[in-house]
Amino acid sequence: MASNMTPLERAEAVFHELVAHYGGAEDRELRAAAKLLLVALDKFRIHGGSNWSALLDEYVDLAKRDPERLERILHGNRGKKDSSLLA
């Protein structure tokens, strides 16, 4: 992976590698996303302190209730340096 990639771009590159790993499998994008989610959940639990689940709930609520804002946050983390959009 290129070192000039943002962390989000690097995570997305791993996602695409996982999708390719699943080849022609049914639901390969969902399988790849599930693997990343499992790792992320474990890291939230380990490194998020005593309030890790509340932070997780905030992100899930954002995805459910305001997907446009989630997309703006993700877009802002893809290399543009607008700190108001960073998660």
In this prediction, residue 17 carries a pLDDT of 97
Residue 75 is assigned to a structural domain of this protein? yes
Domain range enclosing 33: 7-85
d(CA 46, CA 8): 20
Buried b (16+ CB within 10 A) or exposed e, 34-60: eeeeeeeeeeeeeeeeeeeeeeeeeee
Residue 19 is assigned to a structural domain of this protein? yes
Residue 36 is assigned to a structural domain of this protein? yes
In this prediction, residue 14 carries a pLDDT of 97
Number of domains into which the chain is organized: 1
In this prediction, residue 57 carries a pLDDT of 95
39 and 47 in contact (C-beta within 8 Å)?
no
Q: Can you list the residues of the chain whose pLDDT is less than 70?
A: 1-2, 80-87
In this prediction, residue 1 carries a pLDDT of 60
Residue 2 is assigned to a structural domain of this protein? no
In this prediction, residue 28 carries a pLDDT of 96
Q: For residue 19, give the nearest of 40, 35, 5 by alpha carbon.
A: 35
